[in-house]
Amino acid sequence: MGSAALLAVGQAATPAASAAAPQTATFGYTGSGQGFVVPAGVCRLQVVADGAQGGSVAPSTGGLGGQVSAQLTVEPGNVFRVQVGGQGGSTTGGYNGGGSGGAGTGRPDGGGGGGASSVLRSGSPLIIAGGGGGAAGWLPDVNGGNGGRDGTDGGDDGAAVGAARGGQAGGKGAAGGQGGTVINNSPTLAGEDGEAGTPDSGGAGGAGNADIAPSGTTGGAGGGGGGGGAIGGGGGGGGGGANSGGGGGGGSSIGPTGSTFSDGARSGNGQITFSYTPGEGCSSPSPTNSTPTASPTNATPTPTSTSTPPSPGPTTSVPTGGPSGGQLADTGSSSARPLLFGAGLLTALGLAITLVRAGHRRATSRGRRD
């Protein structure tokens, strides 16, 4: 098999890297705070928070919870506190800020406001989805206001005269609704006004007026509680006479820049969902252009033999010759001139000097004989 074929087989056998699958963590209503820890490799969260619905009282219905959708930049290990709003009941406000409904006299109690759903980091709220207001009973269409960015107002009692008023939405002032009045009987009695909403909590609905004696006129229905939120909705006013109270106002919502808000998006209890894909939104580490610094090494040569080398004999230093070849260095003495030549040339020069001296002796000897 050729190298190209082998390469093709190798490439086909290598599995492609699969992208990380999206993950979801959903939190439902529990009646207490919960926690979410950002998993390893997660740098971005998509959060959807839904507030809870207000309590319904036939034939009217509680307002629906608002929704906030937001994106958060996070780091692995970040901890979020999660509070999921509970639906309002009969007079009972839902968990996380729902206002209580007003008591009725001979007529139904008002529905409690729905609780907000919130996401907090280090104790500070990042996201709050407002809850819906509670309904007022006895008459139709006295519904609670919806939770939303501002929320909507609760419905008014439909009585032609002396009607109880619904509570204001949290984002519109959060004032409590005015209690209804009774003008066709003496003494004239009115239902209680609803309470104003506050940061985090809806106002309580007003109680209906008491039975009117001695005429035997039945008292009024209670007003609905305001929905929880960044600012809770106002409570509805209590009914006067035989009339209904007003519906509670819806709570307002908040979220970080770029959030999307929806009014009246959730029925029942609230919910919070975290969606994420590991690795998504994480910046790659910047390359480091570092130049390694070489430390000087004072290496000591290791001898290749452990035997003791022979003692060197007398050594004659031979300096390096200049460009004109070997030279004699003049030391000032004709008998002590170190040679700057190789050993063979030294021998030849020694013979020449010996012959010259021998010739000199013969000539001297002849001169003496002569």
**Closest CA relative to residue 225, chosen from 117, 137, 105:** 137
Query: Tens digits of per-residue pLDDT, 176-202?
Result: 888 887 655 555 678 899 999 999 999
Residue 366 lies in a domain: no
Residue 249 lies in a domain: yes
DSSP labels for 320-351?
PPBTTB--PPP-S-TT-----S-HHHHHHHHH
**Mean pLDDT, range 99-119, rounded to an integer:** 95
Query: Tens digits of per-residue pLDDT, 136-187?
Result: 988 889 999 999 999 999 999 877 667 889 999 999 999 988 888 765 555 5
User: How many domains does one find in the chain?
Assistant: 1
Question: How far apart (Å, rounded) are the C-alpha atoms in residues 99 and 157?
Answer: 19
**Closest CA relative to residue 203, chosen from 167, 253, 172:** 167
Task: Name the least confident of 104-108, 193-197, 213-217.
Answer: 213-217
Q: Domain range for residue 262?
A: 21-281
Residue 255 lies in a domain: yes
Query: Tens digits of per-residue pLDDT, 10-26?
Result: 344 444 445 689 999 99
Question: How far apart (Å, rounded) are the C-alpha atoms in residues 64 and 84?
Answer: 14
Residue 292 lies in a domain: no
Question: How far apart (Å, rounded) are the C-alpha atoms in residues 202 and 154?
Answer: 12
pLDDT, position 322: 40
Residue 339 lies in a domain: no
Indicate the helix (H) or strand (E) that contains 175. Answer: none
Residue 2 lies in a domain: no
Question: Residues 6 or more apart from 30 whose CB is under 8 A from it?
Answer: 84
**Closest CA relative to residue 238, chosen from 151, 175, 176:** 176
Tokens of 315: 């050594």
Task: Name the least confident of 33-47, 254-268, 315-329, 338-352.
Answer: 315-329
- The pTM is what? 0.72
Residue 177 lies in a domain: yes
Radius of gyration for the alpha carbons in the chain, expressed in angstroms and rounded: 51
Name the residue with higher pLDDT: 102 or 298.
102
pLDDT, position 217: 67
Residue 234 lies in a domain: yes
Query: Tens digits of per-residue pLDDT, 317-366?
Result: 444 444 333 333 333 444 344 434 444 444 444 544 454 455 545 544 44
Name the residue with higher pLDDT: 313 or 270.
270
